[in-house]
């Protein structure tokens, strides 16, 4: 291989890493670590716990899952994440 081609490839990789350092990869416009839900009014930062709790409901509606006094509030980004990661959320 030509040294110039190798140098250009390495430069491209370094440039991509520098850009990713200041603008991290995002999931539907939001960083995955920023996704959260409210369970009975308490904010839960663990998105996998949110998805696990949401799949327990027989049906979830307008940004919330309700069963008696048990309520999980979420936004569309959370629902998209859960469905993309094979959680069985019933709408």
pLDDT in tens, the chain (91 residues): 689 999 999 999 999 888 888 877 665 555 677 788 999 999 998 999 999 999 988 888 888 899 888 999 998 888 888 888 888 888 7
pTM above 0.95, yes or no: no
Q: Tell me how far apart the alpha carbons of residues 20 and 18 are, in angstroms, rounded to a whole number.
A: 5
Q: Tell me how far apart the alpha carbons of residues 27 and 50 are, in angstroms, rounded to a whole number.
A: 16
> What is the Cβ-side half-sphere exposure of residue 4, based on CA atoms within 13 angstroms?
0
Residues 61 and 24 both lie in one domain: no
Residue 6, helix vs strand vs coil: helix
- Please give the biggest Cα pair distance in the chain: 68
Residues 40 and 1 both lie in one domain: no
Residues 58 and 80 both lie in one domain: yes
Residues 72 and 89 both lie in one domain: yes
For the beta carbon of residue 67, count every other beta carbon within 10 angstroms.
12
How many structural domains is the chain composed of? 2
Residues 23 and 39 both lie in one domain: no
Residues 74 and 44 both lie in one domain: yes
Residues 18 and 44 both lie in one domain: no
Residues 24 and 39 both lie in one domain: no
Q: Which domain holds residue 7?
A: 1-28
Residues 42 and 85 both lie in one domain: yes
Q: Tell me how far apart the alpha carbons of residues 27 and 55 are, in angstroms, rounded to a whole number.
A: 21
């Amino acid at each position: 291989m030509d040294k110039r081609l190798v140098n250009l490839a390495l430069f491209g990789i370094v440039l991509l890493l520098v850009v990713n350092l200041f603008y991290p990869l995002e999931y539907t416009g939001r960083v995955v670590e920023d996704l959260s839900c409210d369970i009975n009014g308490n904010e839960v930062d663990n998105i996998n716990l949110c998805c696990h709790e949401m799949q327990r409901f027989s049906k979830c509606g307008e940004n919330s899952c309700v069963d008696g006094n048990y309520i999980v509030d979420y936004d569309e980004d959370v629902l998209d994440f859960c469905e993309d990661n094979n959680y069985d959320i019933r709408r």
